[in-house]
C-alpha cells in the first residue's frame, strides 16, 4: 500500500500549488500501480482544510469541490481507508518520544503510525518523516 501525506494531496489537486506536477504524477502512478492507495482521514480532512482556506491559495477550492475530490479518490477501485489499528496509541507515543518532539510533528507521527501498522509506504514532500523509525518513506523530490 502507498499512502499520500496531506501535502501530496493538496499539491496533486491544486494547479497553483508548488510541486503540482510531481504530486499529480505520484498520485496517478499510485492509482495505476499494483498495490492499494491508502487514505488516512487525517490527510483527507487536512486536504479539505488547506484547499478551502482563503489566503493559502489565490483561488481556494469551494467546500463542495474539495469534498468531490475526496469522494473521487475514495471511489477509485485501488483506494482504501487506512484506519489506526488497536496498537496505534502505543506506537504513536513511541514515535513521538523517539523523535524527541510533538507539536507540529504530532500529525506526521499519527500518519507514520498508520502507515507502519498497514505496512504502507508513506509518500510526502516533507523530510520530517525521516525521523520515524520503522516507517517506509518515499520522499517525493520536486
Cell representation of residue 141: 523530490
- Residue 85: predicted pLDDT: 96
Which CATH number do you get for residue 55?
Answer: 3.40.50.1010
- Residue 102: predicted pLDDT: 83
User: Using H for helix, E for strand and C for coil, what is the string for 72-140?
Assistant: HHHCCCCEEECCCCCCHHHHHHHHHHHHCCCHHHHHHHHHHHHHHHHCCEEEECCHHHHHCCCCEEEEC
- Residue 58: predicted pLDDT: 84
- Residue 141: predicted pLDDT: 85
Give the domain range for residue 70.
2-139
| pLDDT digits 0-9 by tens, 38-75 | 999 999 999 999 999 988 888 899 999 999 999 999 99
pLDDT beneath 70: ranges in the chain: none
Q: What is the dihedral of CA 28, 74, 113, 123, to 10 degrees?
A: 10
How many domains does the structure of the chain reveal?
A: 1
Amino acid at each position: 500500500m502507498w499512502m499520500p501525506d496531506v501535502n501530496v494531496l493538496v499539491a496533486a489537486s491544486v494547479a497553483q500549488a508548488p510541486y503540482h506536477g510531481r504530486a499529480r504524477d505520484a498520485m496517478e502512478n499510485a492509482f495505476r500501480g499494483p498495490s492499494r492507495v491508502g487514505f488516512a482521514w487525517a490527510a483527507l480532512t487536512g486536504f479539505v482544510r488547506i484547499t478551502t482556506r482563503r489566503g493559502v491559495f489565490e483561488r481556494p477550492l469551494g467546500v463542495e469541490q474539495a469534498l468531490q475530490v475526496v469522494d473521487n479518490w475514495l471511489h477509485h477501485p485501488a483506494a482504501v481507508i487506512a484506519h489506526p489499528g488497536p496498537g496505534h496509541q502505543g506506537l504513536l507515543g513511541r514515535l513521538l518520544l523517539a523523535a524527541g518532539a510533538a507539536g507540529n510533528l504530532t500529525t506526521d507521527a499519527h500518519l507514520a503510525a498508520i502507515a507502519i501498522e498497514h505496512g504502507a509506504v508513506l509518500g510526502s514532500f516533507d523530510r520530517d518523516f525521516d525521523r520515524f523509525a520503522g516507517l517506509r518513506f518515499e520522499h517525493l523530490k520536486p
